[in-house]
Structures are given as C-alpha cells and as structure tokens.
Amino acid sequence: MSNNCYSFDVLVVGGGPAGMAAAVSAAESGLRVGVADDNLSLGGQIWRGEESSPSTPLAKLWYTRCEAVQVDRLGGCRVFGSIDEKTLLAETIDGWAELKFDKLILATGARERFLPFPGWTLPNVMGAGGLQALVKSGVSVAGRKVVIAGTGPLLLAVAAHLKRFDADIRLIAEQASWSKLLEFGLCLISQPSKLKQAIDLRADLRGVRFVTNCWPIAAEGGNKVESVTMRAGPKTWSIGCDYLACGFHLVPNVELAIFLGCALSGDFVQVDHLQRTSATDIFCAGEPTGIGGLELSLVEGQIAGYAAAGASQRATQLFPERDALRGFAGHLNRAFGLRPGLRSLATPETLVCRCEDVEFARLREHKSWRSAKLHTRCGMGPCQGRICGPALEFLLGWKVESIRPPVFPVQVETLAASQQVQQ
C-alpha cells in the first residue's frame, strides 16, 4: 500500500460547490490549497459527472474558476481520522494519506433523510437524489416506471432530470400541504433566480401528476419493488413501479466536524460571520451549517476561503448576499418540515437499521440511542448510523451522542499501516 503526505496552507474537505468556491477563493491569494473528496471528480452531488459538460452556466463558471487557479485535487480520498490538530488521515484509492494543513475548511455537504416504512429495504426503493446519482453514473431509466415521494424541491429537480432520460414518472408525492407550498411560492417572488428555476421545472414536468399531502405507506415486491401503496388524506391506492425514489429533505454531514471538536448549534455546525467554527483554524461552509442549497453554499464557500486566506475584507463584501440567501433557506425549511403523522409510517416490524436489520419494535423499548445501540447493534454497521440516525431522531427524538474514529469505515490494512506510522 502506498502512503502519501501532503501539506497545505488551506485544506478543503469536500469538493462540491461550497468546497470548490472555498478552494478557488483561498487560492486567489496565492496559497497552497488542496481539495480532498471521496469522489473522483469535483462537483459534489449536484454537479456529479458534469466537469466535462456542465449543465448550467453557474456550474460552467465554477469549473472554469477551478481550472484557472492552482489547486491540488485529491480525488477518491476519504478522510477518516486525524493524527494531531493539524493532520488528517485519509484513505485513498491505493493506500492512505496524511493531510497536513494550516487552515481547514469543512465542506462536507448533506445526505438525504430516509424514513422507514414497510418495504423500504426492497431493492429499487432508493433515495430521490440516490436514483438521480445513479442515473448520472450510467443507469438507464428509459421507459421505467418511477414514483417519486418525500418532500422538498429536490423531488421536482429529480423528476425533471429523470424525465429527460425518458423515465415514465407515474407520480410525484409531496408530504407538505398545498397551503405550505403556496406560502413558499409567495416568498419565491423576492428571489428572481429561484422563481425562474421553479417556473422552468414546472414546464419540464408538464403532464406529470403532482399530489400534495401525499406519501408512501408501503412498498411491495419480491426481490425488488413492484408497487407502492400511497396515501393522500383518507384515500389509499396502489401504483405499479420499477423504482420508488424517496427523499425526506436533507441531513447535514456533520460527523467530521463533531469529531474535530467543532460545536454544533442545533443540528448544524456553529459558525461565526467569517464561517469560523468553534475549533481553532477550522472553517465550515455549505449544508453542514444549515440546509440552504447551491447559491448559499457557493457564497459561504467563498467567505470561508477568503477568511481562511486572511482576506477578510473580501469576505465581508459577501455578507449581504449570504444573509439574503439564508433568509430564503429559512422559508424553505419551514415549508418542507416533516408532518408528525409520518412517525406512524414505521410499523413494529419495519427495519429501521438496515445494516444490522433491527426492527422498530426492538428500538422503541429503549430510552436512548446509546442504550438501543448497546442492546440491538442499531447504528453499529458500516453506515455508522448515518441512515438510521436521522430516522430515529425524527421517530423517537434521539440524538447521536459521539463520533469516534474511524469516522468512516476503512480497510483494515489502511488502519494498520496508518497506526504504525503514528507510533
């Protein structure tokens, strides 16, 4: 196995829009900047696979900016621990690496929230963003019947994307009420670029059935999903499908930040006006500081990049833009808050922890995440509670208490080799 040691003035973890913006802004000051991401190329989930052919002018702009500056790209590089306060450890494609930094910017993004319901573990029941990511990675959905369910604007974006690849979208089910959507729609008026996106999406999805107050209550099938039972008000009905794509909004990836000692504010990493966390020389930008979408991630990334490079004057100029976008994010999160009734989707027999196959009935007996973990192994499989944790937070109000290394599962050889060097 090979071992590499890198040293940066500014290290960015996460190569999505926030990370790209942070890296570009820090590099403008002539600093030595590196971006580590577990994916091979830059772009994160939203611009996955778009480096050679960006789908929007904004994506093109940022890929061009990344090209124009000197930034070391460490693709296929997953941070899993640290050696000391200024050195992270990462698993790479053919070994592992030590990443030394003077300043660190965390831009670790978000993942989808999944809610357990009967049949959600069947193959082809996926995240909404999950199915989109697979389609961007070469999966064909042409002619496939797809039901998209959950909450948030991502459902529409995914539907429009899949439709372009000739998927047969049978239904988009939004759990939020029509009145909440209307309220949200009204606040779009103050955001012309968002309003245009919404209008374009609506046009792309002409003829596709969109139902509010609606969610899946069970997925059925043998070796994969064949149909889904939907509920809207008092009405339930069944729809045949090849894929059920379900996403109940987003959860910030805050595990690495917690591990490095950054304080949280609620569910998110606490940052000050310059995107500084409570930990010395560690900044955070994008979804981990609050779910706010692409534009906010780009602005926060720039502020973090300038601030980390000591160019706080330039960072300050972006504050008004960030504040306006944060206001919009607040509207978004209020409109698409999960209705309490979704807590009854999981039946006693429903598996909540997919890694260890733990049923909801066995978890409800416990008072805390820790007790449930010790007695049932819930959250102790390879995903380390990243999927069941947010579900249980919604279902039972439990919070993940501690993050221990390795922050991500790694090969035993990696762990052994990196331990030897540390000693």
Partner 1 sequence: MPETVQLKVNGATVRMPRGSTVAAAVIHAGSSGFRRSVSGQPRGPLCGMGVCFECRVTIDGRAHCRSCQIVCGEGMEVTTSE
Q: Which residues bind partner 1 (CB under 8 A)?
A: 38-40, 45, 49, 76, 111-112, 114, 121-127, 129-134, 137-140, 223-224, 354-357, 381-383, 386-387, 409
Q: What is the C-alpha separation between 303 and 285, in angstroms, rounded? A: 8
Q: Which residues contact 326 (CB under 8 A, 6 or more apart)?
A: 290, 292, 296
User: Which CB atom, from 25 or from 45, has the smaller least distance to partner 1?
Assistant: 45
User: Which CB atom, from 175 or from 384, has the smaller least distance to partner 1?
Assistant: 384
In single-letter form, the type of residue at position 270 comes to Q
Judged on CB neighbours under 10 Å (0-12, 13-18, 19+), 29 is: middle
Bridge-based pairing state of the strands 282-284 and 95-106: parallel
Q: How far is the CB of 368 from partner 1 (least distance, A)?
A: 23
Cross-strand partners of 106:
13, 284
Cβ–Cβ under 8 Å, residues 185 and 226: no
Entry field: residues in the chain: 423
User: Which CB atom, from 134 or from 195, has the smaller least distance to partner 1?
Assistant: 134
Q: How far is the CB of 255 from partner 1 (least distance, A)?
A: 10
Q: How far is the CB of 164 from partner 1 (least distance, A)?
A: 17
Cβ–Cβ under 8 Å, residues 247 and 150: yes
Q: How far is the CB of 175 from partner 1 (least distance, A)?
A: 19
Q: How far is the CB of 389 from partner 1 (least distance, A)?
A: 11
Cβ–Cβ under 8 Å, residues 17 and 44: yes
User: Which CB atom, from 53 or from 70, has the smaller least distance to partner 1?
Assistant: 53
User: Which CB atom, from 8 or from 248, has the smaller least distance to partner 1?
Assistant: 248
Q: How far is the CB of 126 from partner 1 (least distance, A)?
A: 6
Distances 144 to 138, 226, 241, 244, 408 between C-alpha atoms, Å: 14, 11, 8, 11, 34
User: Which CB atom, from 307 or from 355, has the smaller least distance to partner 1?
Assistant: 355
Q: Which residues contact 340 (CB under 8 A, 6 or more apart)?
A: none
Distances 358 to 269, 286, 347 between C-alpha atoms, Å: 29, 33, 12
User: Which CB atom, from 293 or from 305, has the smaller least distance to partner 1?
Assistant: 293
User: Which CB atom, from 122 or from 169, has the smaller least distance to partner 1?
Assistant: 122
Q: How far is the CB of 322 from partner 1 (least distance, A)?
A: 26
Q: How far is the CB of 122 from partner 1 (least distance, A)?
A: 8
Q: What is the C-alpha separation between 292 and 17, in angstroms, rounded? A: 12
Helix-then-strand count for the chain, H and E: 14, 21
Buried b (16+ CB within 10 A) or exposed e, 404-420: eebbbebeeebbeebee
Q: How far is the CB of 383 from partner 1 (least distance, A)?
A: 5
User: Which CB atom, from 102 or from 267, has the smaller least distance to partner 1?
Assistant: 267
